[in-house]
Amino acid sequence: MTHISIIHHNSDFCYSTYDMNNDFAGRKHLLFDADGTLYDFKATEEVALSALFSSLSIPYDDEHIDLYHHANSGCWKEYEEGLLSMDKLRSERFRRFFRIIGRADDPIKAGEDYIRMLGNAGIMLPGAVDFLEGLHGSFPMYIITNGIADTQHMRFRGTDTEKYFQRIFISEELGVQKPDPGFFMKVLKAIGTDSSHAIVIGDSERSDIQGAANAGIESIFISFDGRRSKIADHNASSYSELAALIHDIA
């Protein structure tokens, strides 16, 4: 079996020290996206955003939620395109949001408060823990995410799910983000394998599936609402289907 010992942090990535024995011989490395694949970011965001809006006396209604999402999605798109740094994104989304609604609140403070609230509200997707339990010890598993490092580390610890992964790779710590092939190349180099011995599993066709294709890595697109990807090598619509597929191809 694989034995997780302690989480280490450095300027390149966060990872777990572990001992890998012959349990993983011949197995492909499973590179899991976090949000939307294993973690319920939508539910987590709802808890954190409602708390932040309440602290700022901003109505938590559809209009203000949509305006925030517009500002936030624009920032994340620029980040994935390399046009906005993660450090800047943390406050820029609130700077834009406050400008739209005519508020003069401090976007830096709002950004830091929101990151803390997100980290404290980690929520798994239904069935995710049982899915991970079923695979744990049979495959080398990793997290690959574009999330904010502080938030993600807090959520992984809070959900007690670090133990399932050999290493956790976060774009802010790697210095490059999905779908840039450089992100995947850094991950492969760090875990000591090549593109033919890894599988990317994620719910984002742009950052996960296209990113995997850009790096020449096999991919599985997971969608719980039945969507399918023509770019992905494989598609799954449930954890049971995903588990069976992994056992078949990895």
Q: Cβ contacts of residue 37 below 8 Å, gap of 6+?
A: 125, 201, 202, 203, 208, 222
Given the residues 19, 23, 33, 150, select the one marked as catalytic: 33
Q: Which of helix, strand or coil describes residue 222?
A: strand
Instruction: Provide the edge-to-edge strand list for the sheet that holds 14-19.
Output: 3-9, 14-19, 167-170, 141-145, 29-32, 198-202, 218-222, 234-236
Maximum CA pair distance of the chain?
60
Known catalytic residue: 194? no
Count the alpha carbons within 13 Å of 240 in the hemisphere toward its beta carbon: 0
CB count within 10 Å of CB 185 equals 17
- Residue 12 has what DSSP assignment? S
Known catalytic residue: 23? no
| 228 phi and psi angles, rounded to 5 deg | -130, 150
Given the residues 23, 35, 40, 194, select the one marked as catalytic: 35
Question: What CA–CA distance (Å, rounded) separates 109 from 59?
Answer: 19
Residues labelled catalytic: 33, 35
